[in-house]
Amino acid sequence: MAALGVLALLLGVLLILVEAHAPTAGVLSGISVLAIAAGVWMLFVAGGAAETLAVPIAAGTAVVGLGVTAVAGRKVIAARREPVRGGAQSLVDREATVTSWSGSQGQVQADGGLWRARIEFGYDADPAPTAGDPVVVTGVHGLTLAVRRAQPWEVR
């Protein structure tokens, strides 16, 4: 019985490691918590502890573990629904500053880096932006940012 308890504990730990590398939103973690609780129960019973002691300890282990798994699983599912906040796509709707401009294309500084930029919406009648003018990034096309003039209320 003790060997089976140790095997259940090892299986539970192995499933947690698999969950860490192949996230299943808590499915494998839930199974691993149940395996660990069963392993704890088997070890207590094999060690000569009374059922009145082994059952509450195993149940407590299972309840705490499943509670942690449920909270973590909900956070994983919520994070999957969030928009991308990293990489070039994180620049969309952020302010940039023009460093140089010529015609409809130029260079802007956004998020600490220099980017090629072009005016997204036609401002043919307006004068070209000058160095230091604020613009807002409306999209990312490869390594070129699509920008528009910042409205007065958007400027920090």
7-63: pLDDT as tens digits: 999 999 999 899 888 878 788 988 999 999 999 999 888 888 888 888 999 999 999
Phi, psi of 40 (to 5 degrees): -65, -45
pLDDT of residue 126: 67
140 contacts 92 by C-beta, under 8 angstroms: yes
From CA 120, how far away is CA 152, in angstroms rounded? 18
Compute the average pLDDT of residues 71-80.
Answer: 85
pLDDT-based confidence at 6, cuts 50/70/90? very high
77-113: pLDDT as tens digits: 888 888 767 777 788 889 999 999 988 899 999 988 9
